[in-house]
Structure 1
Amino acid sequence: MLASGGESVDGAINDDNSDITELVVDELIRRYGSTGKLPSNNLTVKKLVAVVNLRVKMPHAQMWKLSRTEGAKKPGLYGWGGKSDLTPAQFEQANAMDEIALLVDELVALVHARRVVNRVRTYDSLLTDTQLLLSGPKAPVVIDGLRSWYRVVLLDEFQDTDRVQWDIFERAFVRDNPVLSGGTGRPDVIGLVGDPKQSIYRFRSAELSAYLTARKYADDNGGTTATLGINWRSDKAVLTGLDHLFHDYSFGDARVAFQSVEPSPDHNEARISNAGECAVEIRCLPFSDVPAGLVDAKSGHVKRGKENKIPNAPLVDLAIKDLVGQVLSLLSSARLHDKPDSGEEGREVDPSDIGIIVRSNRHADLIADALAEAGVPCARSASDSVLNSAAAEQWRVLLEALERPASEARIRSLCHTWFIGDDLASIAAMTDTQLEATIETVRNWAQSLVDGGLPSLMATLRRAGLLERVLSLPGGERDLTDLDHIVELMQSLTGGRPTAASALRAVFAELSNMGGADDDGVASELLARRIDRDDDTVKIMTVHKAKGLEFSIVLCPLLWGALPNRQGTGHAHDESRDTRLIDTFQLLGANSRGVPFQLVEKSDKAERLAESDRMLYVALTRAKHRLVVWWTAADNDSYSVALGRVMSHAIGAGGSPADVTVLAERSNGSIARREVTENVVLASWSGTKPSSEVLAVSSAPFPMPTRWKSWSFSSISSGASSRSEQLAVVEDALLADDVEIRGGVGDDHDDAIDVEVVNAALADTVDTSTDTTVNRSLVDAPAGTAFGLLVHEVFEVIDFTPRDDRTESVTTICAQNLNYRPMTIEPGVLASGIDRALSSPLGGPVGTLALESIDNDHRLNELRFEFPLGAINAAQIAQTVVDAWPEGNPLHNWFVRASEGALSINVEGMLNGSIDLIASTELDGIDTYWVADYKTNRLTNSVYDSESLTRAMEHHGYGLQALLYTVALHRYLRWRLASKGYDPATQLRGAAYLFVRGMAGSKGPEGHGVFWWQPPFAVIEAVDQLLAPGVSP
């Protein structure tokens, strides 16, 4: 995706849309602040933000416009019904629609422009940037490259593809690429794999139109359409019942129709017994409380009409109660058989054999509570956002208290959370002494966050009994899962670094701004609540979560409810324009019987109904051996329910969804009808008896690979080392004069160094007398990992270039970081040291050039890489350098020792790392690129000349790191600059190690404190080939 080369290509990727709200408010004030009159009195900021969000997520969509001029001149336009004129009121509505549509389009353009300037990327922008690339001037070269790499192309789950994704795929592999003469043709095989009957992600812009467009392209261009004729999941009895229910039913388009399939040979016989007469069962809920006058005497179902609607809450309760009874019956009586025709007894049904599928998260919670009350273990996998959970509110209260532990109100609020667990009576009776003790406890919690970050805080909270308190509550597993999920999200944004409560609260607010569930109640994959147990439990999940899964037994108790009212702005695909239209008229908040105003609304409803049919299909086809569905005709309009429509279709002409008896009778015994009685008696499940089988340790059927894993410079170095790194460093500090003590961070392997031990060892050796060759502000700065992290983070975010307020800006950034990293250095002193490092001449190939000469457009911070690593011995890497660079290598001695066994370790898998800085500088008219790594190491006697730096590089094996990072940079440039004629022999300039304590400023010696390692390209090329998979040691 990064190949799009967009201006924000190096920005972080996120789903945070909080910037949209800010922009919409600013723009409304700018445009309408003086008059206060919006295009419509019913247009609100909330509606406008929602529709801008929708347009951003659906870049291929358009706002529905209805120009009155166009309408007046073209009677019959848009299904107008032949009317040549609109009423004056409708003309005004049409004008308002056009104005709102234009406003939304302009707001969307502003959102995109601002995100480019701020270097912000979203997952949607990755797609649109790629689409632009494949339709722009670079497209022929990019397309040819893709086609030369991939000769067989398969796109799985194609029913979930939206129009933008299909356009990318079509341009990349399907369409002709005539602009590039002699280019590569289409791949040999292009396959689209998917089931359009399972297209249920319309809310994410993935609806049927992309599938139908691709299907038509295949039909028109000699492609073939193949259908799998065998179902390898379900028993024949289940398939027969589903075939009777769905036979000849279409799901939103005639080209998306149900097709009968055959079972696999080993599923001809039922694999379940003692579960019921038929594999498919419909359990009918009574509606005896309905007044007799509302029941149709002939059909037996409730008469249609808004005035006839009856409450369905009692029926929901009854359905759940009956569901629990069915689960208990299955667990106690039913048997599953691996070989049904062998006469074997089979095994008991375990809770994990049962899947319960619902439409809403609220229903999942109700069912989970009922099962738990009956003693049945269950787990929920909901599609709503973890940020809308009770755990999120608990975290909010905790962070507020950690930020201000002296606030009595916040502490009392915290006492009633899971983290302390006091009841209201205890809180009301709390004495001053108890309150002070609680405040002190919370202060200690806040300090643990400052000292060790989120991991330290969580360890402290667990020691204080958090797990026991949460798990003792009803639904405790659910709450604990949500708590840990939120911790993981915050951890990903803080990196586990020490942080202050105020900073962590800001992180939590940033997460909250990413949004909860969308208008359909479904959250993004990142935020969607996870399954709360993975042991032997009944699984309860929404249809979206169940897609792609299978269960021996599937129970669907509440699919009979009417389709919920539409949330948010409607949208629908317009076949005539081959685009998706967003219902601008809805934003007016007006009503109109004019046909053109209802175009999108009606199409939107039709699409939603069709998708609900497909959701029903997904739910019912998860079953392997048994399917049970609950039904009632008590709703005032059963035909608006997918299950009702499907059953009416199955019954035939004039059929009513209430006629389940007729449906069962015509199914030739494949579907059973059962009446649910209101006197369901429930027992408690005692669980299965423990197995008496003696467990034996299993042996692997093949040798387990021990070398294949994720490797880095640090893991290779530490794995090859035969002695304790801490002992080695302390020993050298005490006994030698040429030692380097590390206080920085990165991929280095000596994080376990005891800083106090090292500082004590150096107390009598560090020379702090006046010296113009050191960075006076940093030479006596603290040692240790924390200081190294601090310096790295400051370098990462500051602007290098000189300006009047640079020192002030850097000081502010240093102060912000020191707020949650207490150290014995003042922000101004640290900023002064950073400023000296920025102005120091770097030497080497760049001569007098300093970091401050590199602007933001010519630097790349913290480039993370990961690529495959072949099966080699790490010593081979060193040997390759020795062979390819026999003379002139300043680290030659280290590479020789490494090749002779000091670096001997077998490696294979993936190689990863993070490069502090990649810089681009123009030398002799050529754009050159080099790696830089910040080091805060304290060297003996504070000497940072060339000889000392060489010893330091050898002592820590930084030569290996420099080599691997330079290879990574070469691969990156080879990819990004392929179309620009990348010449590594002249453009790749090696690695600079910036020992910042020795970078004395603009008046210091050129290159002082900087170690340059510049291998010939032959070295990089040889190591690049060695690291690739396929090379044996």
Structure 2
Amino acid sequence: MKTLTLTGFDISAPALIEASAGTGKTWTITALYILLVLEKRLRPEEILVVTYTRAATAELRDRIRKRLGDTLELYLSGREPVDDLERVLLSPGRVDPEMAPRLLTRALYAFDNAAVFTIHGFCQRALQENAFESGSLFESEMTADQSALVQRVCDDFWRARIMPEKGPFLEWLVAGGMTPEKLAVPFEGHFQNLGLQVIPETADPDLSGPIEARDALLPRVAAMWQAQRGPIIQQLCQAKLNQTSYKQERVEAAARRLDDQLSAGVLEQGGACLSLFTTTKIESARKKDSILPDHPFFELCRQLQEAALLLEEACRNKLIHYQAALGQWLREELARRKQALNLRCYDDLLLDLHLALEAASGERLASALRERYRAALIDEFQDTDPLQWQIFARLAGLAPADATSGAACPPPFDEPYTGKCSSSPDCPNSSRPSLGPLFDAADAVSGAASYPLFLIGDPKQAIYSFRGADIHAYLAAARAIGRDRRWTLDINRRSSDALVRGINTLFSGEDPFLSAEIAYHDVSSGRSPHQQLLQNGIALEQPLRFWVHQREDQGRPLDTASARTAAIGATVAEIARLLAGGCEIIGKDDRRRPLQPGDIAVLVKAHYQADRVQQALGALGIPSVQHGSATIFESAEAHDLVRILRAAAEPGQGALVREALLTGLIGFSAEELFELGHNDVAWETWLMRFRELHQAALTGGVMALAAHLLDECGVRQQVLAHAGGERRLTNILHCLELLHQAEREHGAGLEASIVWLERRITGEQQDETALLRLETDEHAVVISTIYASKGLEYPVVFLPFAWDAPSARNGRILFHDDHGRMVLDLGSDKRESDHKQRARAEQDAEAARLLYVAVTRAQFLCYLAWGGVNGAYGSPLRRLLHGSRFRDSKAFAAASDQELVDDIAALAGRSAGEGSSAIAVQLMPQDVSPPEYRAGTDAAAVFACRRLTSAVPGDWRISSFSAIAGAGDRQMQFRDHDALLPTAGGSAFSTAGKEQLRTETGVTIFDFPRGAEAGTCLHELFETLDFSRIEADAMKESCLASLQRNGYDERWLPAVSRMLNEVTAAPLIVSEPGFSLSALAPGSWLTEMEFYLPLRRLSGARLREVFHGLLDPLRHGDFAEVLAALNLQETRGMLQGFIDMVFEYNGRYYIVDWKSNHLGDRREAYGQRQLKHAMVQHAYILQYHLYALALDRLLRLRLPGYDYETHFGGAIYVFLRGVARHDPECGIYRDRPPLEFIRRANLELLADMAAPAI
């Protein structure tokens, strides 16, 4: 392959440029762009530049714009050229020096119109701008996630095609755990892949024969077993058979299992329960010279098991038939439904453009695109797929239209499939072409085009097959372009000379990438020799370093768990040593700086490995961040958040709340949860918190819930108090942000948000917004998957799991045939042999490319762990380091650690060249005591965001009555649903007692269950009641609805209804004897009124000063003693709370608070003396004084001419179980805080507000 040089390079014809890692791919793209602007005089909107992510698109735009500016400056300043491009531009005869500044200026002015797109952005624009030629609608709704639609299509297929089967086949499916989702698993990622060939092509098998054979034998076996069970078992136990299988206990267990199935007239899959009783099994267990049992039952069992196995095989073939049918149905039905909905996902854009180009009018569309884009540069082309390559081939005139094969719409489910479109003649799918012989068409016209199409990529870095990338499409493009137009870049500007030599040596073996079409070409280092990594002032040598695992038992493979632990230990110890060992980096400006944690990357294959590494680094105090391709929905925080949201959605369900408390976000241990179950007041506090989360979600959506959860529920403090807290908090915030976004887009409530999150946690499709974010921008060791590291570079790289072999994905057999077409084998005769080997070979080839990507991330130093680990034989490193020395995994495991070291040492010798060896090898360090890590400072500090350095007041917070009354740490105020008296059986966890009460007859409101959940039920009743419609039927409906919502039996309805009648008819206002709640006019009351009061200073001492001399023992009991014992630290901020009800009557405003406290089983227990005791004990007296203060402030702001004495009526606490309509003193506590309290509290406790002075 020729080395690319800009001198003499023809930019008028297609070219494929292989850009090895670090060789300047982006630089080359910008250079070609400049040549197109200056030589071809193209405008930015005429040069198509395509890449694969939004981030890469933004970077390319910036780099191209900068290069245009730098080149303009070259011509205007007359300075000397600094690189190859500038030397070419200034060479005589290449570019008109007078026109160049004008062309560059024009390009810069027009660059906002530059055609730099993602692949999906290009396809969308091409369809929209050529709607008539492409037959595309002008506007379609775009979606990043079609999983819901896919699920509906699968469900419909299951209902229409699978469910009618019934009988043995459906029983076999259910027994195997098959579902609509699992039926579609083989097609994941390929739902609309027109080029996918599914094998085998089987007809729908007839099960009648196998079913009849089984059903004919089953009654005979059952009858003989029932008649002669004892002699049959006796023969087996007395015969001289292998006791491993025919020990008496095993025979008797098998007999019991056979009893169960034969008595029910069924057999499990394959008749496995018959195995011990078949002549085949008995003969295989026969001891030498022994006599076999000769009961005819054994031969019958053999025949029945064979019939059962034949039926199972027929069921398996029927499943394959239906899976193949589902694959075709998905492809066609998704297209049909999305067109009906005018909906597109991103992959549809590629498919629609491909189909438009392959249609009869496709050449007209291709010509329009060639006229619009007169040149094209395709970045990261190794990640292309057949559709993308076919589109660009048509754009460049490399492939003719191929509309010869059609795929008709599938028929309705109740009609047989005929291959013809079952819909109207103008159905858009009636002649949708497949890809056909995708690659052959391109090969046939190799070199026929002259369109400037530049395909830039590196096949050695093609690692994204799981995203749909297809290396075979790249290879087809390379063949189509032709050998004379294929170029390579051979100067690595990323890595040091020694490291480049080491990598060259590592991949110098025969066929390193397991493909004759993907070769490794040696590169040289273009990095300045002054740029290097020093340790104690000396350049580090042998930068490619191998650690070989040490095994105690030589000749036996080391188990992966032990290997993982050893590799992580050695890695973090070496990182600590490098950071503490006087290492320095000399950069491009020749300035030295200390090695920082951010200069180091640990590359892993799986996210659980990243978690383990981060924990180990955290134990040493070394900062680290994870950067990978995992989605937020894979995190533990997403799972925890679902549990919390479920509890917030149903705060009356104690089991859900307890499950939420055990999550890592709230952090209860089992012991703490047990103790909470025996503390009614604490349990009630937590239930109130979840009720408030529920209310926040109802009134303010997910973000309001998030604010309460993070700060006022203490989740932020909880997660940050532990190692890895920044990572966890970042995950929580990210997940809540995505929930909020989904809520805004779809108008979802809390229940819908839970469903949305649960579906994504199960692994359905996501877009890039769900990728995990970095938890900090600070300097920290980067822990990344190899997939996510592609395109990045780090001074030091560790590969602690380089020995880890690739594992199969989804258990499916997916490979390419000899023509490069993708094949999915659902169960052919060759599935477990030839086709499985082909799939494994492709997987091994990608693993080799993945290793190449990993080692080429390093600039100066790269560590790889290797050794005789279980499964390491399948790693690509085994071939690179040991060649064909080991014939199989047993021979590899038998090799000693020293033999493995010797092989690598020999490789190191070949890397020496004219200098020292570039490769080092040693046994893996064990039990190393790492040096203490101390964060250093970077003398050459880079630009960073400014940090807040001023002090943040630590005493500013949101307080509440609950926090004040309990003087606790958590300041959240939730809707006040009763703190409880500790009475027998009153535990909120005492569900058994509750169930017993529910089943009693003749119950009263005194018998109604106690506890927070009961309080929630009664509070909801009054919260939703329409007091202006106090009618028997309406009240009964309200009572029943509240009971059902909270899980209470309907037998409580009479007792709760009687209580409601008493409360709504009771005289609440002493001065208004004719008033009851039933007299309220519509709009004269508010429920659950939330307030925030600005606090100047609040403390126990200040509260005592405000109340001094204002408490009446006859009315307030010994509340002064409660205040004296209140240990509340001084705080400021906001006082927040909820008032159960505020109503207006005759110009006066009253506060109402509902209390469901159980004070006794008779009305005498709810007299004024008992009520006063409860009001004092639970500090309700403080509560209504604060409520009065809040209502006073509101009325001052809102009510013209407001006067406290005139307009404030007082506070009414209604103890629901004790109210009697004919006794105004029973169950009702009334008080009106004096004006002096309001005056003092405003002056001493509250911050100023814009309102008249009192």
TM-score, with structure 1 as normaliser: 0.57
Give the equivalent residue in structure 2 for 1:325.
573
After superposition, the Cα gap between the structure-2 partners of 1:320 and 1:697, relative to the gap in structure 1 and judged at 3 Å, is: closer
Whether contact under 8 Å (1:271, 1:340) holds in the other structure is no
C-alpha distance in structure 1 between counterparts of 2:803 and 2:631, whole Å: 25
Distance 1:405 1:492 in 2: 24
Could you tell me how far 1:285 is from its partner in structure 2? 1.3
Structure 1 distance, partners of 2:398, 2:815, is 26
CA contact 1:356–1:539 (8 Å) conserved in 2: yes
Q: How far apart in 2 are the matches of 1:694 and 1:137? A: 58
Alignment partner, residue 125 of structure 1:
348
In the alignment, which residue of structure 2 is the partner of 1:660? 904
CA distance, structure 1, for counterparts of residue 552 and residue 759 of structure 2: 51
Distance in 2 between residues matched to 1:697 and 1:458, nearest whole Å: 26
Question: What is the CA–CA distance in structure 2 between the aligned matches of 1:310 and 1:280, rounded to whole Å?
Answer: 24
The alignment partner of 2:921 has SS state of strand
Identical-residue share of aligned pairs (%): 26
Q: Distance in 1 between matches of 2:671 and 2:587?
A: 60
1:579 is displaced (CA, Å) by 1.4
The correspondence for 1:247, drawn from 498, 508, 516, is 508
Q: Look up the match of 2:883.
A: 649
Amino acid at match of 1:367: V
SS in 2 for 1:283: strand
Pick which of 254-263 and 46-55 moved more. 46-55
Structure 1 residue 190 corresponds to structure 2 residue 453: yes
In the alignment, what sits opposite 1:280?
544
Shift of 1:128: 1.3
Residues 454 and 89 (structure 1), Cα distance of their counterparts in 2 relative to 1, 3 Å cut: closer
User: CA offset at residue 201 of structure 1?
Assistant: 0.8
Deviation of 1:695 after TM superposition, in Å, equals 11
Residue 55 of structure 2: aligned partner: none
| Counterpart position of 1:164 | 387
CA distance in 2, matches of 1:97, 1:468: 53
Output the CA distance in 2 between the equivalents of 1:564 and 1:150: 43
* Equivalent pair of 1:9/1:121 in contact (CA under 8 Å): no
* Separation in 1, partners of 2:815, 2:940: 60
Which of 817, 823, 826 lines up with 1:584 in the alignment?
A: 826
Tell me if structure 1 keeps the 8 A contact 2:639–2:761. Answer: no
2:757 pairs with one of 491, 496, 508: 508
Q: 1:372 aligns with which of 618, 637, 646?
A: 618
Shift of 1:352: 0.4
Give matches, 1:231-380, under 5 Å: 231-248=492-509, 249-264=511-526, 266-267=528-529, 270-274=532-536, 276-290=540-554, 295=555, 309-338=557-586, 346-380=592-626
> Is 1:215 equivalent to 2:450 in the alignment?
no
Cross-structure match for 1:633? 868
Determine which of 782, 799, 803 is the counterpart of 1:560.
803
Q: Does 49-58 or 688-697 show the bigger shift?
A: 688-697
Please say if 1:23 is aligned against 2:153: yes
**Cross-structure match for 1:548:** 791
- Give secondary structure in 1 for the equivalent of 2:396: helix
Amino acid at match of 1:643: L
Distance 1:148 1:258, change over 3 A: same
Give the match's secondary structure for 2:723.
Answer: coil
Match of 2:651 in 1: 405
Shift, 1:568, TM fit = 3.6
Structure 1 segment 483-632 matched on structure 2, within 5 A:
483-495=732-744, 500-509=749-758, 511-512=760-761, 515=764, 525-576=768-819, 578-585=820-827, 595=830, 598-632=833-867
Q: What is the RMSD of the two structures over their aligned residues, measured on CA atoms?
A: 3.8
1:981-1014 Cα distance to aligned partner (Å, 9 max, x none): xxxxxxxxxxxxxxxxxxxxxxxxxxxxxxxxxx
Structure 2 residues not aligned, in runs of 5+: 1-122, 128-133, 205-309, 403-447, 893-898, 947-1081, 1084-1254
2-side partners of 1:411 and 1:665: how far apart? 65
Pair 1:44 & 2:178 matched? yes
CA distance in 2, matches of 1:572, 1:596: 11
Q: Secondary structure at the match of 2:822?
A: strand
Q: SS state of the match for residue 227, structure 1?
A: strand
Distance 2:728 2:585 in 1: 36
1:236 shift after superposition: 0.2
8 Å contact from structure 2 (residues 545, 919) kept in 1: yes
Q: 1:445: how far off?
A: 2.8
Q: Which moved more, 1:616-625 or 1:110-119?
A: 110-119
Change (3 A) 1:419 1:602: closer
SS at match of 2:190: helix
Structure 1 residues 66-88: Cα deviation after superposition (integer angstroms, max 9, x where no partner): 6699xxxxxxxxxxxxxxxxxx9
Q: Report the secondary structure of 2:547's partner residue.
A: strand
CA spacing shift, 1:91–1:174, aligned 2, 3 Å: farther
Decide which moves more: 346-355 or 430-439.
430-439
Residue by residue, what CA displacement relative to the aligned partner does 1:194-214 show, whole Å, maximum 9, x if unpaired?
Answer: 000000011122121111010
* Contact 2:144/2:346 (8 A) holds in 1: yes
Residue 618 of structure 1 deviates from its aligned partner by 0.3
Structure 1 residue 159: Cα displacement = 0.5
Structure 1 CA distance, aligned partners of 2:787 and 2:849?
Answer: 11
Q: Which runs of 5+ in 1 are unaligned?
A: 70-87, 180-184, 296-301, 303-308, 517-522, 587-593, 699-822, 825-1033
| In 2: Cα distance, 1:52 partner to 1:215 partner | 28
User: Which residue of structure 1 lines up, in the alignment, with residue 1051 of structure 2?
Assistant: none
Q: What residue number does 2:1030 align with?
A: none
Amino acid at match of 1:213: A
Asked if residue 450 in structure 1 is aligned to residue 712 in structure 2, the reply is no
Map residues 790-869 of structure 1 onto 2, 5 A cutoff.
none
Preserved CA contact (<8 Å) 1:381 1:532: no
Cα shift at 1:552? 0.3
CA contact (8 A) 1:325 1:682 kept: yes
**Which deviations, in whole Å up to 9, do the C-alpha atoms of 1:173-195 show, x marking residues without a partner?**
3337799xxxxx97752100000
Partner of 2:921: 673
Aligned residue identity for 2:823 = L
What is the aligned partner in structure 1 of residue 725 from structure 2? 476
Normalising by structure 2, what TM-score? 0.48
Measure the CA separation in 1 of the matches of 2:612 and 2:719. 19
For residue 121 of structure 1, give the secondary structure of its aligned residue in structure 2.
strand
Mapping for residues 106-117 of structure 1, pairs under 5 Å: 106-117=329-340
What secondary structure sits across from 1:56 in the alignment? coil
- CA displacement, residues 870-896 of structure 1 (integer Å, 9 cap, x when unaligned): xxxxxxxxxxxxxxxxxxxxxxxxxxx
Q: 1:138 to 1:432 in 2, by over 3 A?
A: farther
Name 1:199's counterpart in structure 2: 462
Instruction: Provide the C-alpha distance between the structure 2 equivalents of 1:672 and 1:419, rounded to a whole number of angstroms.
Output: 45
Matches of 2:786 and 2:724, distance apart in 1: 22
Q: State how far apart, in whole Å, the 2-side matches of 1:690 and 1:545 are.
A: 27
Query: What SS does the corresponding residue of 2:488 show, helix, strand or coil?
Result: coil
- Residues matched between the structures, number: 643
Among 40, 58, 70, the residue aligned to 2:193: 58
Partner of 2:513, secondary structure, is coil
User: For residue 608 of structure 2, what is the amino acid of its counterpart?
Assistant: R
Give the SS at the match of 1:192.
Answer: strand
Q: Do the aligned residues in 1 keep the contact of 2:628 with 2:788 (CA within 8 Å)?
A: yes
Following the alignment from structure 1 to structure 2, what is the Cα–Cα distance between the partners of residues 696 and 110? 52
Partner Cα separation in structure 1 for residue 324 and residue 496 of structure 2: 52
Q: Secondary structure at the match of 1:617?
A: helix
| Structure 1 position 90, deviation (Å) | 14
2:803/2:865 contact within 8 Å kept:
yes
Instruction: Give the superposition deviation at 1:161.
Output: 0.6
What is the deviation of 1:323? 0.7
Structure with max Cα Rg: 2
1:28 Cα shift? 3.1
Decide whether the 8 Å contact of 2:574 with 2:930 is kept in 1: no
Separation in 2 of the partners of 1:235 and 1:244? Answer: 14
Aligned to 1:764: none
Query: CA–CA distance in 2 between the matches of 1:696 and 1:604?
Result: 47
